Structure 1
């Protein structure tokens, strides 16, 4: 599942028909490897799994290990990796039955080990130089530098037009955070060293200099000579990173504006989200750049990042984004309570929800408070009170205290320069599914998702469960839509758009699971649920409990997860991974009628338990 929704490397794998089969007779068993692909890189170090199928009734050996074969022919093995000098590993498969033997060689590429430089040489490994991407900085910014090379040497750096040679310091060992086994495996986080020869330094950018595309030169030196007469000689190597750094001095604020309808601002280039769904027309002050990401100054100690393709730079001299807030007003509507903040222009914002406190926070940047008036709609029973604060300068915060701890989502949007925050109320008859609006999302379509050992596509398994769930919900009187009803292709971004268009109350995305390379599937499996926003967490917990009980399998966990289909804020959204279809037994259950029905029933019962918990 993980390649299909987020960027962990795995499992949208095309079944590879073996090309190197050698059979003794036409009746000899067939072998098909589903995963990993032939000559594919496997992102594991010491062990990984291989899955596929053989002719039912065959005996199977892989690298001389006897492998269990399911009655329908599927197999799954978790085996040690012993790389050869070239970085390749070969699975040697042999299947046999009464009619003969079949052998198959299945090579996979292993990750390159951490590179170290021998002590008796002198070199800088250019691929590991930092910074490695163009940066624009301003006075006071911290520039971090790093190289890898020969251990126990003397390292220095120089920035053309800015510094002479400055020292760098060797870090004798460095922590390497384990990969996906940390979150999806059964073991705790382990520290490991990745070798010596790592040198680092840092410096704050000065205020009295400007640079334009300066070079950074790294130098590594060591003493050479085998006798007292030449023991003071230095041998050095240098490596230059060209046109890598600019140091800017701005006379005017660099004002930028979003040019796309929905954008996400991040804590760092390609890092975690600071705020999502920023609309077209919102303005920021830009004050730096890293490769193709622009840094946004949101106020004291608060920076954000956005791709440069998402913005335009406004003409020099454009006034900096700024507004004062004089008035706040609430409006009671049929299904939402609206909080309106009156601004002079469209400015960036962030919404926070604390379900324990029953409080919603709205932060608006580049704003100073002049708020003397907050008008409450007397017909509203959702909001208790609202208070404003100015945590740092230029950041305006509203804390909206609710009369109850539950909301069913929220939607923030602009109407002209008015920032509206719609808080979705729970339905009046919350214990009754009747008349609730659901969108059921069978995960994947053109993208098959995970593939089981005998070739079952996850997209098909998801659709079978989803159809049964839809029928159960409709039998209860619910209004239900599906993101797809067959094998038509529905892009990932279209699925939440359908949910918003249908004005749904609850969105359930149905999936079946797989694992990243290197994680033992015999130790790490079960059923799991995923949410992104806090208002969806209780629903996910109730569904998880019912899945574990109804399916009589272990829990693989309950997760906060940043998936495209769980990210929207306007409704309750949960993604369900019913089981691990890479396990032969589980794939066989998914092919039947009873297990998909049980999955659907468990999801329905979880929804009902959640609704009763609100009574």
Structure 2
């Protein structure tokens, strides 16, 4: 670390000069400075540890406040600096082999974040409600309130609910935080389609505020609200949580599936799947139906298990398109399908001998409104399944294993991440993730073709391709498996590096494990084999898929490797080896499960 005091103290061990010897070609290089982090000259920050990341000429030396820094053979550098409270100035200088130089100054203002302060006047600082957003609620729903106001007062919501001031203990170190939970009632006078009034009484003074969001009541005496899915890839979410990849997904649905809508939070409808299970769906994926439309429910009709020359199928007929979810199980390998609103009304399942991968199929009524179908597979390895409606018949299409262990008869999709305006991460030298992802994907394409595989490429140039389009287009193209190529990034460009693979469905984990194992043979640091990952290209169940975060582009050492064409070819070869191991382990001639 570098401290920006006039003393210019050196923090840590000795830092090596980047260039010791200068060749004739190097001597012709001119000094330059390109900073990728921070992105601005003047920066206000709240952390003492910051980084100066960028690049210069390959034979240049770099100094920060006159102290020499490490420069990688690519010209990249990543320097950690430690800030003092107040203003911090760093002079970054690049010195060329012929003595030419260029300098830039970066400023950080570091102020220790102030601890939250209690309210000192008779006032309300804020009103929060959970879930956040405008709500469409039903009787029995819970609304949580949190209010920050002057300590020692009385806070009521709508004149009906008195909030409690939290005592000081543990993490609760500030007085004046009032909380409470309200249960929505039938014909609730508090729920009027507008904000709810919150009143503080203290020292003979009354202060009124309204909630920042509105609340509307659904009348239980009116007809149930019913929606129908629309679009190419509607999906259900478990809850309202969110991260950079969105909320955790329960699974995708077919178009025109009926849903029982019981509420709305912000832009998400709440869906009643059973008496004990709810989910959420984005409002743009739902078309509301006319009042009087029946909520989804149906008796099961005829069942059949059969096969054609490519796939096995399980079909079950319903009078209405009901919502569902599927999960994969291993040891033994099974597909479990829960159909919501369905009631068993079938005393036989017809199974034909032309089915080659479905070993057994049976059902049980696990709840009044959940019919569970279990499909046992003959082989240990999952090769994919798709659930859809053909008219009113719910169909599970099960993919069979390849006939042989090699790649010669396989169609493999190679997805180069990002592209066009979606640049992805940026490395210290200024290279973008979209460029390196395409470079690795192209090497992988060539390596797979050398093994005889047919390769489908998401993109072959710097073009933008929407993630939802990638998913839906591959559903139509039906590859045998998919590999999505990306590069990782971290705010810490020095400590965080290495390779990782990602999967969502447990049945596809072996593909990610085999590839990960071979990538580590390149001497790369471990970042992990990561499951339940909510990435769009990991969501399909139709074919095994894996996201390969090849390296951390933010790390100069990893960036140097990925910039090397020979290393990219080695990485592609290792991915191919992992795919071959996966296929060899799961082809038709592999051991069947008992």
State the TM bucket, normalised to the shorter chain.
0.7 to 0.9
2:192 paired with 1:212: yes
Q: What is the alpha-carbon distance in structure 2 between the residues aligned to residue 258 and residue 246 of structure 1?
A: 23
Summarize the alignment of residues 162-311 of structure 1 with structure 2, pairs less than 5 Å apart: 163-170=159-166, 172=168, 197-209=176-188, 211-220=191-200, 233-234=203-204, 237-241=207-211, 244-250=214-220, 251-269=222-240, 271=242, 272-311=247-286
Q: What is the alpha-carbon distance in structure 1 between the residues aligned to residue 84 and residue 216 of structure 2?
A: 46
- Deviation of residue 65 (structure 1)? 6.5
Q: What is the alpha-carbon distance in structure 2 between the residues aligned to residue 303 and residue 377 of structure 1?
A: 36
Q: Which residue in the other structure is 2:145 paired with?
A: 145
**2:45 and 2:111 in contact (8 A); partners too:** yes
- Could you report, residue by residue, the CA deviation over 1:492-514 in whole angstroms, capped at 9, with x for unpaired residues? 23333443333211111112221
- Could you report, residue by residue, the CA deviation over 1:202-235 in whole angstroms, capped at 9, with x for unpaired residues? 122223535322432334455xxxxxxxxxx455
Q: What is the alpha-carbon distance in structure 2 between the residues aligned to residue 314 and residue 611 of structure 1?
A: 46
Q: Which residue in the other structure is 2:336 paired with?
A: 361
- Deviation of residue 309 (structure 1)? 2.4
Summarize the alignment of residues 36-185 of structure 1 with structure 2, pairs less than 5 Å apart: 36-38=38-40, 45-62=47-64, 66-81=68-83, 84=86, 92-96=91-95, 99=99, 102-106=102-106, 113=113, 116-118=116-118, 120-126=120-126, 128=128, 130=130, 132-150=132-150, 152-159=151-158, 163-170=159-166, 172=168
Which protein has greater RCO, CA pairs closer than 8 Å, 6+ apart? 1
Q: How many residues align?
A: 550
In structure 2, do the counterparts of structure 1 residues 602 and 286 end up closer, same or farther at CA, with 3 Å as the change threshold?
same
Secondary structure at the counterpart of residue 546 of structure 2: strand
In structure 2, do the counterparts of structure 1 residues 307 and 600 end up closer, same or farther at CA, with 3 Å as the change threshold?
same
In structure 2, do the counterparts of structure 1 residues 364 and 65 end up closer, same or farther at CA, with 3 Å as the change threshold?
farther
2:475 paired with 1:500: yes
- Could you report, residue by residue, the CA deviation over 1:371-409 in whole angstroms, capped at 9, with x for unpaired residues? 212111122232232221222221111112222222211
Question: Which structure 2 segments of 5+ residues have no match?
Answer: 1-28
Q: What is the alpha-carbon distance in structure 2 between the residues aligned to residue 528 and residue 83 of structure 1?
A: 37
**1:172 and 1:198 in contact (8 A); partners too:** no
In structure 2, do the counterparts of structure 1 residues 122 and 52 end up closer, same or farther at CA, with 3 Å as the change threshold?
farther
Q: Which residue in the other structure is 2:17 paired with?
A: none
In structure 2, do the counterparts of structure 1 residues 606 and 401 end up closer, same or farther at CA, with 3 Å as the change threshold?
same
Secondary structure at the counterpart of residue 390 of structure 1: strand
2:313 paired with 1:338: yes
Q: Which moved more, 1:533-542 or 1:110-119?
A: 110-119
In structure 2, do the counterparts of structure 1 residues 559 and 378 end up closer, same or farther at CA, with 3 Å as the change threshold?
same
2:435 paired with 1:435: no
Structure-2-length-normalised TM-score: 0.84
Q: What is the alpha-carbon distance in structure 1 between the residues aligned to residue 79 and residue 399 of structure 2?
A: 48
Q: Which residue in the other structure is 2:577 paired with?
A: 605
Q: What is the alpha-carbon distance in structure 1 between the residues aligned to residue 110 and residue 134 of structure 2?
A: 31
Q: Which residue in the other structure is 1:579 paired with?
A: 551
Secondary structure at the counterpart of residue 198 of structure 2: strand
In structure 2, do the counterparts of structure 1 residues 195 and 386 end up closer, same or farther at CA, with 3 Å as the change threshold?
farther
Q: Which moved more, 1:129-138 or 1:552-561?
A: 129-138
- Could you report, residue by residue, the CA deviation over 1:262-303 in whole angstroms, capped at 9, with x for unpaired residues? 211112236544533222211111111112221111121211
Q: Which moved more, 1:552-561 or 1:198-207?
A: 198-207
Q: What is the alpha-carbon distance in structure 2 between the residues aligned to residue 536 and residue 409 of structure 1?
A: 8
Q: Which residue in the other structure is 1:5 paired with?
A: none
- Give the alignment's Cα RMSD to 1 decimal: 3.0
Q: Which moved more, 1:569-578 or 1:262-271?
A: 262-271
In structure 2, do the counterparts of structure 1 residues 39 and 154 end up closer, same or farther at CA, with 3 Å as the change threshold?
farther
Structure-1-length-normalised TM-score: 0.82
Q: What is the alpha-carbon distance in structure 1 between the residues aligned to residue 109 and residue 368 of structure 2?
A: 53
Q: Which moved more, 1:469-478 or 1:269-278?
A: 269-278
In structure 2, do the counterparts of structure 1 residues 155 and 574 end up closer, same or farther at CA, with 3 Å as the change threshold?
farther
- Deviation of residue 338 (structure 1)? 0.6
Q: Which residue in the other structure is 1:455 paired with?
A: 430
Q: Which moved more, 1:455-464 or 1:267-276?
A: 267-276
Secondary structure at the counterpart of residue 374 of structure 2: strand
Q: What is the alpha-carbon distance in structure 2 between the residues aligned to residue 463 and residue 131 of structure 1?
A: 41
Question: Which structure 1 segments of 5+ residues have no match?
Answer: 1-26, 176-192, 223-232
Q: What is the alpha-carbon distance in structure 2 between the residues aligned to residue 574 and residue 44 of structure 1?
A: 37
- Deviation of residue 51 (structure 1)? 1.6
Q: Which residue in the other structure is 2:530 paired with?
A: 559
- Deviation of residue 173 (structure 1)? 6.5
Q: Which moved more, 1:27-36 or 1:444-453?
A: 27-36
Secondary structure at the counterpart of residue 519 of structure 2: helix
Secondary structure at the counterpart of residue 586 of structure 1: helix
Secondary structure at the counterpart of residue 133 of structure 1: coil
In structure 2, do the counterparts of structure 1 residues 347 and 602 end up closer, same or farther at CA, with 3 Å as the change threshold?
same
2:489 paired with 1:489: no
- Could you report, residue by residue, the CA deviation over 1:92-147 in whole angstroms, capped at 9, with x for unpaired residues? 53444574654423457989957623464454333756565211211111111112
Q: What is the alpha-carbon distance in structure 1 between the residues aligned to residue 89 and residue 396 of structure 2?
A: 57
2:296 paired with 1:317: no
Q: What is the alpha-carbon distance in structure 1 between the residues aligned to residue 91 and residue 212 of structure 2?
A: 47
Q: Which moved more, 1:328-337 or 1:100-109?
A: 100-109
Q: What is the alpha-carbon distance in structure 1 between the residues aligned to residue 154 and residue 67 of structure 2?
A: 49
